[in-house]
């Protein structure tokens, strides 16, 4: 049976997503990951230095990249342990970005879903567990929907005029991974 163009596009993007690898950031990824940061966050400066210093903050910070079949990095996620190395970890999703040319294809969703178990595994090596996940985003950013969908996070506060606009503070309590 002939496939319609829409079905074909859906199959192609599903196959591409399936073959997308979410793996820990390595120092060789710095230049290209910085480019994703620069393209995704137009108001933020010094992309190279930002990614570099967060990478150096391991294990407080853990960064994972989305790598396609051509070994191109098209997105990244940055997790951060808050307020010291605790047994019950408050984990912040500090930053998530997908290159603008690749947004809306499920890569952001995959970055969250596939990296969180890897963070959990690393924490388990020191017998720690994730208690809650926190994340903030601009109140008008559709990323809010993404965090609801993937983390079951809810808005607990709205902070007016924080970075460039009002920011929502979201928490996923007692998260099951
Ligand atoms: C936010 C971001 C990481 C999402 O990544 P993505 O790969 O585009 O997201 P996905 O394709 O997995 O979509 C996830 C959900 O986001 C929402 N979404 C995605 N694109 C959208 C759009 N253009 N309009 C409205 N909602 C959209 C939908 O709820 C979608 O879920 P659904 O497909 O089940 O409806 C990406 O858009 C990005 O890098 N934006 C710029 C940087 C940023 O704002 N980062 C987050 C704040 S730290």
Q: What is the CATH number of the domain that holds 102?
A: 3.40.630.30
The answer to the question of residue 168 being in a domain is no
The answer to the question of residue 172 being in a domain is no
CA of 113 to the centre of ligand 1 (A): 14
pLDDT at 94: 98
Helix extents (H) in 4-46: 5-18, 30-40
pLDDT at 19: 84
CA of 142 to the centre of ligand 1 (A): 6
> What is the band of 7 on the pLDDT scale with cuts at 50, 70, 90?
low
The answer to the question of residue 125 being in a domain is yes
The answer to the question of residue 177 being in a domain is no
The answer to the question of residue 9 being in a domain is yes
pTM of the shown model: 0.93
Domain tally, the chain: 1
Encoding tokens for residue 173? 């309590």
The answer to the question of residue 93 being in a domain is yes
pLDDT at 9: 62
Domain that holds residue 59: 4-135
Assess contact for 137 and 170: CB atoms under 8 A: yes
Residue given tokens 């890897």 in the structure block = 118
The answer to the question of residue 13 being in a domain is yes
pLDDT at 5: 65
Closest CA to 68 of 138, 15, 7: 15
Query: What is the residue-averaged pLDDT of the chain?
Result: 94
Encoding tokens for residue 149? 């969908």
Which residue has the CA at smallest separation from atom 14 of ligand 1?
Answer: 146
């Amino acid at each position: 049976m002939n496939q319609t163009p829409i079905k074909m596009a859906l199959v192609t993007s599903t196959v591409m997503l399936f073959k997308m690898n979410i793996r820990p950031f390595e120092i060789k990824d710095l230049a290209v990951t910085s480019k994703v940061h620069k393209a995704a966050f137009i108001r933020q400066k010094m992309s190279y230095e930002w990614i570099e210093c967060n990478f150096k903050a391991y294990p407080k910070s853990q960064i994972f990249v989305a790598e396609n079949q051509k070994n191109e990095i098209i997105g990244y996620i940055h997790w951060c342990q808050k307020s010291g190395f605790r047994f019950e970890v408050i984990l912040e999703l500090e930053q998530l970005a997908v290159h603008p040319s690749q947004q809306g294809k499920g890569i952001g969703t995959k970055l969250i879903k596939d990296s969180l178990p890897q963070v959990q595994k690393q924490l388990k090596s020191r017998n720690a567990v994730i208690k809650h996940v926190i994340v903030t985003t601009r109140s008008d950013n559709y990323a809010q929907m993404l965090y609801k969908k993937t983390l079951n996070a809810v808005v607990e506060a709205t902070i007016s005029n924080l970075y460039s606009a009002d920011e929502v503070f979201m928490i996923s309590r007692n998260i099951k991974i």
